[in-house]
Structure formats: C-alpha cells, structure tokens
Amino acid sequence: MNLKEKIREIENFPKEGISFKDITTLLKDGDYFRYAVDSIVNNLKDKNIDVVVGPEARGFLLGAPVAYAMGAGFVPVRKPGKLPGETEAFSYDLEYGVDTLEMHKDAIEPGMNVAIVDDLLATGGTTKAVAKLIEKLGGKVVAVEYLIELEFLEAKEQKLSDYEVRSLIKY
Ligand code: 5GP
C-alpha cells in the first residue's frame, strides 16, 4: 500500500514558501488509516511500551489508535493552559520566538517505556521538547514514530541522534 499517494501537498500553507503535507486525505480512507496505524504498531511490537505520548493535535490522531491497538496507555502533550492537573513544562526555540509544551506531572512514572508518536517530523524541535519532558518525569524514550519525515531537514541527525526514530513516508 503506497501511503504517500494519500498525502495532499498544499503550497504556501500556513505561510508563503511552505509545502504543507495534509494528512486528512489519508485519515479519511479507512484502509489507509488502518494500514498506517498497524504499521506503527508493528514497529513498536516487542518494545514493551507502557505509554504512547502524542503532541497536540495531530499526534492524538495517530498516537491514540496506536496505544489502543497495543493495549498501552495514551498521554497527551498540550499547549500551555490546556491540561487541568499539575503540569511539567518545557520551552523550546522556534525560528521566531519560543514555544512551550506541557504534560501532566503524574502522566509518566519513573522507568516507564515510552513511545512518541506524531504525524510529521520537520526540524525535530517538537519531538526534542517532548522527549525532554518525558525524561524529566523519569520515563525512557524507547522509540519515536512518525507518519511523515521531511528527510531533507536532517532532524534525525541534528536533533534526535539519541533516539530510535522511524517514519512511514519520506520527503
Ligand atoms: P518540528 O517541530 O519537527 O519542526 O515540526 C513538527 C510539528 O509541526 C509536528 O507536530 C507537525 O504536526 C507540525 N507540522 C509541521 N509541518 C507540517 C506539515 O507540512 N504537515 C503536517 N501535517 N504537520 C506539520
């Protein structure tokens, strides 16, 4: 099954010069959606994953079904002020300015095996921040799985060399 043919590329979204990879065209096709989720589940089998962590918002769309299929827990990472309980925060640099992500402090217990699942790897800034949050709480990031990876940005080499990173579709 060629997953890439279901990704729609939209030029100049959300701003000039960006070729946005739209995953909604894949998600709306039941066979392709299931194949994508099953492929990630297959990559994670035998890794004893306790929880899957998914960043807002598209990380929820893939992370939650992956966790469900494995019988693992799911933990959301959100923008500041969205989670009701006590949170741990991590700030990271963007091209212009900073961004902050939050996770519930009690979401991860020390020693847990954690997989990060997200839709797309671009610069790796989001994933690096999520990994730092997990590690701050004592979790072990045993795998990072994406639907799409923008290989030409070299995030795997430059930001995520400490982690086992895989993707299903590459640009
Ligand atoms: P990074 O932090 O690696 O630079 O950016 C990755 C994050 O931005 C992911 O959480 C992803 O949802 C979002 N993102 C950036 N570009 C795209 C894109 O072209 N398509 C989609 N679907 N998400 C993107």
What's the gap in Å between 126 CA and the centre of ligand 1?
8
Q: Is 145 a catalytic residue?
A: no
What is the arithmetic mean of pLDDT over 56-61? 97
Domain spans in the chain, listed from the N-terminal domain onward:
48-170
Distances from the Cα of 115 to the Cαs of 3, 14, 16, 89, 148, in angstroms?
22, 28, 33, 19, 16
The pLDDT score that the predictor gives to residue 97 is 84
Average pLDDT, rounded, for the chain: 96
> Distance, CA 84 to ligand 1 centroid (Å)?
25
Tens-digit pLDDT profile for residues 84-95: 999 999 998 887
Mean pLDDT for the stretch of residues 107-121: 98
pLDDT at 53: 98
Q: Is 8 a catalytic residue?
A: no
ipTM for this model: 0.97
Q: Which CATH code for domain 48-170?
A: 3.40.50.2020
DSSP for 44-99, please give it.
HTTS--SEEEEETTHHHHHHHHHHHHHT-EEEEEB-TT--SS-EEEEEEE-SSSEE
The verdict on the CB of residue 149 being under 6 Å from ligand 1 is no
- For the Cβ of 73 lying below 6 angstroms from any atom of ligand 1, the answer is no
Q: Considering only CA atoms, which of 90, 147, 102 is closest in space to residue 121?
A: 147
